Amino acid sequence: MIEKALSAAIRGLCAGGALLGAGVLALPAQAQAQTPADTSQTMQKVEIVGTSIRRRLEAQTALPITSLRAEDFAKQGLSTAQEVLATIPMNQTSTGASQSVGSGTGGRATANLRGLGGDKTLVLLNGRRLANHPFFADTVDLNIIPVAALDRVEVLRDGASAIYGSDAIGGVINFVTKRSYRGLEVSVEAYEPAGSGGGDEQRVNVIGGWGDLATDGYNVLGIVDFHRQSALTATDRDFARTGVRPERGMDQTSGTTFPANFYSENDISGNPSFASGCRPPYSIPNRSGAPTCRFDYTQFVDLIPLTKQETFLGRFSKKLGADHTATLEYLRSRSTNEARVAPPPLAGIGLTMSNTSPFYPGAGITPAVAGLTGEPLDVSWRPLVTGKREGLDVSLSDRLLASMEGTVGGWDYSAGLSYAVGRARSAFTNGYVIDARMIEGVGNGLLNPFGEQTPAGNDYLRQSLLLGEYLRAKIKSGAIDFKASRELMNLPAGPLGFALGGEFRRDEADYRVNRALASQASSSGYADAQDQSGSRNIGAVFTEFNIPVIKDLEVNLAARYDDYTDFGHSFNPKVALRWQPSKQVLLRGSFNKGFRAPTLYDLHGPQTTTNTSSPWDDPVLCPGGTAAPGANPNLACDQQQNQRQGGNPDVKPERSRTYSAGIVLEPTRDLTLSLDYWDIRLKDQISALAEESIFGNYQKYQNLYFYNAARTRLDYVLTITQNLGEVKTRGVDLGLLWRLQRGQWGDFTLGVDGTWVDRYDYQNERNGPFTVNVGRYADASPVFRWRHNASLGWTRGPVNMTLSNRYLSGYDDQPDEHGVVPGRVGHYSTWSLAGTYTANQKVSVTAGVKNLLDDDPPFTVQSTTFQQGYDPRYTDPLGRTFYVRATYKF
């Protein structure tokens, strides 16, 4: 939200470093606490996120808005946009680099308001859209946000399709940069985890500018930001180092291991090393009693990959007369992500060993296995000698924006012309091997899947590595937009506000698969993926009225019409009410409809075949955990199966409706309380069925199972994007801000923001049964019943201290394949302490500790992510982390 009438007051109220929470910056009651002199000094018109009508500072919006100031989150050691948004209770998930390990996300970071999915949270930069990340094309990559350039972050906790169009179902996040700057500022940050291993961070940013818009008529601003975080491996943390915790009911392993398991045509399966205990710690005996080994792949996974981000923002603003300002802005961001997972699983690719191999069991080198009579063996092997599979994801984003704003003929206007390009590429950098060479090497007796390699075998494996770029994606968006607002007339209760605007946008997406490279490795997931592309034109018009009905009662009406060339049109209205019966009380409420258009990736994304996150029994070839006659148990039983994912041209838009109602109380000018109720219903949800659903109910989803012609092997289950059923969720946002009186001990502020989710139910298909998700892990994730962020701030002279707490309630853990809940995941609560010393106008130093008590994340058996023992989507594996930030202004 843009600076309010209470700007000066808020600066004082937040001097202790408390983050402003739900509704605090949207309180008209606070504005009335200003003296007449104060108000007259700040009567400029501003635009507030969620409305196109420019308002005077004392006229606050009816919509619930949270605003976070950059100086506050910098003091709390929040170094990325993802970390900043993780402090907002209504943000159920803040996906970042750690979740990109093995998931093919390109290293993007996303936010997820209300738990509806990142694709239903609209992210803006200075009120305008950015290009979405090319992979999936459904969300903006938060890594491209220039954190050093930010003035504040605004979060509209309400649907806003009537103003912004598609995606604004769960809410809107607007990153607002500094409008101008004079001078030169350099900041250096360092973060060091107390535990062993990596995860340390460094950041350097430089801000420079000259010229003053008010006096010189121009301003030039430039910002350069560099950020790096080193990798943290699973073995660096005891709670995440293994997927085998039998005392906790966790056994996440793979049947593709080293030494290799085998299956013969005589229906014999086994492992030559089973009798000697396999080869711990990576390979362990199968706990089912079968004479095979299992592989603990978790030990090879990164908890946090090596990440780097470089961002540049340049802006030139020029006053054209007294009433117009022209701006030219360029944003460039580059993000790299180097992630590592276990060596390649080679299973079900035709890896066959004959009895002519010197490594055949019983031939002299490899121990004999009872029952084998020299028949060919189908081998399931993981060649550890090739090393971890390592991938490099590089994302680049460019946006050029030319805009003009000002006043003409009594109208406040803003217009812009923008062009944005997002590019991403993925490459194999180590560990991936060429399937054909593996088949040949085992078949001709050169490679030993059961033990150590000969020098010739090692040389052969080195020459079998698959290196290079296998996927390139690009998304382009060109747009022209305008909007204008004014007061049409004076009604008895006040002026009638009016706004109108329009937008035209063209989006293009292109996905190119290096078939010559990707087709050689089944472990890449892109072995059979094809090039895809798509484009669309979007035109929209919208209007808004702010009607003063009676004194202190306003009604806001808005509507938007969008037309898409690929799926049709959408009309979305909104009505909001704001009533302030007294200086101490504000009542507000709204109703709106929303939609999310399927992205170009939803429609045209390449279809890939990858492993499921969890191992499953094939319901046909291994019913009840027992292999059917003629089925290879190493492939059919307790194994990561193949799933086919990707776009679907038949996907239709999602539709939503949202109700909200709230009250804000300010019994004294030192205490502000807020409560906002919200209720969201979504239908035709765009998503893919979770693997847990498909493997948990074969009778229902058997049409999604695809077998080879002989029905001896499951080729894949189909999990492409589709329209699922409805989602119903409701809850309450609570906020408290208490400003203690000044005294000889300094100034204190206490802020608490929390979100209580009363209901979150969803359907996996239209007209199907609803699944309860709140307070329990259902299908692929939990929804937290309660989340809060609290902070206590103290300021005295040049010293500022902040103690903050982030809390997530516990929930029922992920059920097993029989629907049995193994237990309860405990709550997650972390404390952080930070202090800032401002020596003078030039020098300031911040030092602090995140996760002060060094609390580990709560244990969970979740298997949706590659990391085990905890859930990286909601918790931090680093533990206690010390940081320091120094700023010098020239």
Within-domain flag for 580: yes
Domain check: are 38 and 100 in the same one? yes
My answer on whether 548 and 570 are in the same domain is: yes
Asked if residues 863 and 178 have their Cβ atoms less than 8 Å apart, the reply is: no
Asked if omega into 281 is within 30° of 0 (cis), the reply is yes
- Below-50 pLDDT ranges, the chain: 1-44, 53-60, 96-100, 102-104
Intra-chain end-to-end CA distance of the chain, in Å: 29
**Separation of alpha carbons 185 and 444, rounded Å:** 65
Return the pLDDT at 45.
53
Q: Is the dihedral angle over the CA atoms 697, 135, 523, 241 positive or is it negative?
A: negative
pLDDT at residue 750, as a whole number:
94
Residue 28 lies in a domain: yes
In a shared domain, residues 264 and 167 = no
Q: E-strand spans in 492-528?
A: 494-513
Q: At what angle do helices 455-462 and 435-443 cross, to 10 degrees?
A: 160
Q: Which two tokens stand for residue 715?
A: 């080729």
Q: What is the pLDDT of residue 444?
A: 96
Structure tokens belonging to residue 242: 């293994």
State residue 197's pLDDT score.
Answer: 87
Q: Are residues 80 and 218 located together in one domain of the fold?
A: yes
- 483 belongs to a structural domain: yes
Decide if 256 contacts 382 (C-beta within 8 A): yes
Give the separation between CA 375 and CA 780, rounded to whole angstroms.
42
For residue 358, the enclosing domain spans 238-302+343-385+435-463
Amino acid at residue number 176: V
- Residues 480, 410, single domain; the answer is yes
Domain final position from 671, 701, 723: 723
Q: What is the pLDDT of residue 146?
A: 79
Other CB atoms within a 10 A radius of the CB of residue 246 amount to 8
Q: Which one-letter amino acid corresponds to residue 254?
A: S
Say if residues 871 and 784 touch (Cβ distance below 8 Å): no
* Beta strand extents in 230-282 (DSSP E only): 232-233, 244-245, 250-251, 261-264, 269-270
* Same domain assignment for residues 535 and 664: yes
Same domain for 569 and 511: yes
- Name residues whose C-beta falls within 8 Å of residue 543's C-beta, 6 or more positions apart in sequence: 498, 499, 500, 501, 558, 559
Angle at the Cα of 72 from the Cα atoms of 70 and 77, rounded to 5 degrees:
95
**Six-digit token pair at 211?**
């010229």
Token reading at 714: 């499951």
Q: What secondary structure letter does DSSP report for 98? A: G
For residue 185, give the amino acid letter.
E
Q: What is the 3-state secondary structure (H, E, C) of 620-676?
A: CCCHHHCCCCCCCHHHHCCEEEEEEECCCCCCCCEEEEEEEEEEEEEEECCEEEEEE
Report the CATH number at residue 774: 2.40.170.20
Q: How far apart are CA 33 and CA 29, in angstroms?
A: 7
User: Tokens representing 79?
Assistant: 């170094």
Q: How far apart are CA 762 and CA 778, in angstroms?
A: 10
> How much is the pLDDT for 487?
93
How far, in Å, CA of 189 to CA of 285, rounded? 47
**Under a CB-based contact definition with an 8 Å cutoff, are residues 262 and 206 in contact?**
no
Distances (CA, A) of 752 to 153, 248, 438: 18, 35, 58
DSSP character at residue 50: T
Is residue 276 domain-shared with residue 226, that is, in the same domain?
Answer: no
Residue 400: closest CA among 182, 128, 152:
128
Rounded distance between C-alpha atoms, residue 787 and residue 91, angstroms: 9
Secondary structure in 3-state letters for 850-882 = ECCCCCCCCCECCCCCCCCECCCCCCCCCCCEE
Q: Give residue 417's pLDDT.
A: 97
What's the full length of the chain, in residues?
890
669 is written with which tokens? 């000018």
Q: Are residues 424 and 530 in the same domain?
A: yes
Segment (H or E) for 762: strand 747-763
* Nearest of 128, 106, 110, 127 to residue 118 by alpha carbon: 110
pLDDT of res. 527:
81
Specify the pLDDT at position 587. 94
On whether residue 396 sits in a domain, the answer given is no
Give the pLDDT confidence score for residue 20 in this predicted structure: 28
Report yes or no on 392 lying in a domain: no
Report strand pairing: 171-177 vs 777-778: unpaired
What is the CA angle 654-656-662, rounded to 5? Answer: 155
Report the SS3 class of residue 30. Answer: helix
pLDDT at 16: 29
What's the pLDDT at 613? 80
User: Are 166 and 137 a contacting pair, CB within 8 Å?
Assistant: no
Instruction: Please tell me the predicted confidence (pLDDT) of residue 441.
Output: 97
Q: Where are the alpha helices (DSSP H) in 14-122?
A: 28-31, 36-41, 70-75, 81-86
Pairwise CA distance, residues 143 & 333, whole Å = 8
- Alpha-carbon distances, residue 430 vs 108, 466, 711 (angstroms): 21, 7, 34
Q: Is residue 847 part of a domain?
A: yes
Do residues 586 and 579 lie in contact, with contact meaning Cβ atoms separated by under 8 Å? yes
Instruction: Say if residue 213 is in the same domain as residue 262.
Output: no
- Please check whether residue 330 lies inside any domain of the structure: yes
Report which of 296, 197, 370, 376 is spatially closest to residue 881, judged by C-alpha positions.
Answer: 197
- Peptide bond preceding 598 in cis form (omega within 30 of 0): no
* Cβ partners under 8 Å of residue 155, min gap 6: 65, 66, 67, 68, 85, 88, 90, 113, 171, 172, 173, 174
Residues 147, 296, single domain; the answer is: no
Torsion of CA 28, 29, 31, 32, to 10 degrees: 120
The domain tally of the chain equals 3
Residue 62 contacts residue 588 (beta carbons within 8 Å): yes
Pick from 528, 742, 786, 503: nearest CA to 642? 528
- Rounded Cα distance between 112 and 362, Å, is 56
Is 165 domain-assigned? yes
Q: Can you name the residues that pair with 264 across neighbouring β-strands? A: 377
Position 289, amino acid: G
Residue range 3-53, pLDDT digits in tens: 333 233 222 323 223 322 323 223 222 222 233 333 333 334 555 565 554
118 lies in the same domain as 178: yes
* Sign of the torsion angle spanned by Cα atoms 342, 693, 290, 714: negative
Residue 455's H or E segment, with its range, is helix 455-462
CB 304 within 8 A of CB 340: no
Helix (H, G, I), strand (E, B) or coil at 287: coil
